[in-house]
């Protein structure tokens, strides 16, 4: 489905299509960044099958999180298992949720250029 920028509108649209929202209070103590919407029938879920990386009977709805501003200190290049070389941002440490973050993937040169990132920028 095409989802809007409004969480409330998305939930109403999904409800009209027969989806139900449940809250499991035992899990609310764990940090999360959204919900997973899943077909309610196990047989229907299985009949929809899978793509190469996820089931067709479920998808994630992510909430928009407030951003954190920090300084880009440096960029290091990292070689992955497949041999792909990727840029990694070295950041002034900042707190996001319960984690202290000091590194982030920058994906590729195009991503760096699109964000106009430079050493020392916020």
For the chain, the structural domain boundaries read 7-62, 72-114
Residue 17 pLDDT > 80, yes or no?
A: no
Q: Under 8 Å CB-to-CB from 14, ≥6 apart: which residues?
A: 1, 21, 37
Joined together, the tokens standing for residue 49 give 């099958």
Residue 40 C-beta-side C-alpha neighbours within 13 Å: 8
23-63 pLDDT, tens digit per residue, is 655 556 677 777 788 888 888 889 999 999 889 988 887 77
53-84 pLDDT, tens digit per residue, is 889 988 887 777 767 899 999 999 999 899 99
Is domain 72-114 classified as CATH 3.40.50.2300? no
Is the pTM above the cut of 0.85? Answer: no
Identify the bridge partners of residue 35 per DSSP, sorted by sequence position.
61
| Alpha carbons 70 and 66: distance in angstroms, whole number | 13
């Amino acid at each position: 489905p095409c989802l809007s920028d409004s969480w409330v509108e998305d939930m109403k649209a999904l409800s009209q299509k027969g989806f139900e929202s449940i809250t499991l209070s035992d899990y609310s103590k764990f940090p999360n960044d959204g919900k997973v919407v899943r077909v309610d029938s196990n047989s229907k879920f299985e009949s929809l099958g899978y793509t190469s990386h996820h089931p067709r009977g479920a998808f994630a709805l992510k909430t928009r999180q407030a951003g954190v501003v920090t300084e880009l200190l440096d960029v290091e290049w990292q070689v992955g298992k497949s041999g792909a070389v990727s840029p990694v941002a070295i950041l002034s440490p900042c707190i996001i949720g319960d984690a202290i973050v000091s590194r982030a993937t920058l994906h590729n040169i195009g991503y760096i250029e699109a964000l106009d990132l430079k050493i020392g920028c916020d």
